[in-house]
């Protein structure tokens, strides 16, 4: 996966996770490591504002890696995270 991502300068990754609802320090650490790895490569993170917007750019809300790591457990919010991971040189409002 890492090699494919590194060879793909315009890659956009959409993922959904609920890792913090897993009561495992190991799972939390892996998610934190993944977020930090993408951040180290200058990727930016966006949360999809509403599923009804069908991934429309106006529904993207940029999030910091620190905020992603500290977000409350999905059970507390009643939903999963819908996150787009986008290279820093791409403007999601214009390209997606």
Each residue of 37-68: pLDDT tens digit?
999 999 999 887 655 555 666 667 888 888 88
DSSP three-state, residue 23: coil
**How many alpha carbons fall within 13 Å on the CB side of residue 73?**
9
- Specify the pLDDT at position 40: 94
- Specify the pLDDT at position 39: 93
- Specify the pLDDT at position 68: 81
Considering the chain, what is the average pLDDT of its residues?
76
**How many alpha carbons fall within 13 Å on the CB side of residue 44?**
13
pTM of the model: 0.74
pLDDT tens sequence across 83-93:
778 888 888 77
DSSP three-state, residue 49: coil
Give the rounded distance of the alpha carbon of 62 from its chain centre: 9
Domain span holding position 7: 2-95
- Specify the pLDDT at position 4: 92
**Rounded Cα gap, residues 46 and 64, in angstroms:** 9
């Amino acid at each position: 996966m890492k090699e494919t991502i590194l060879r793909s300068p315009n890659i956009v990754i959409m993922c959904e996770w609920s890792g913090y609802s897993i009561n495992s320090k190991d799972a939390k650490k892996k998610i934190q490591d993944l977020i930090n790895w993408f951040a180290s490569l200058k990727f930016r993170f966006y949360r999809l504002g509403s599923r009804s917007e069908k991934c429309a750019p106006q529904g993207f809300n940029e999030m910091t890696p620190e905020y992603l790591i500290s977000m409350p457990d999905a059970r507390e919010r009643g939903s999963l995270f819908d996150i787009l991971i986008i290279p820093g040189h791409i403007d999601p409002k214009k390209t997606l």
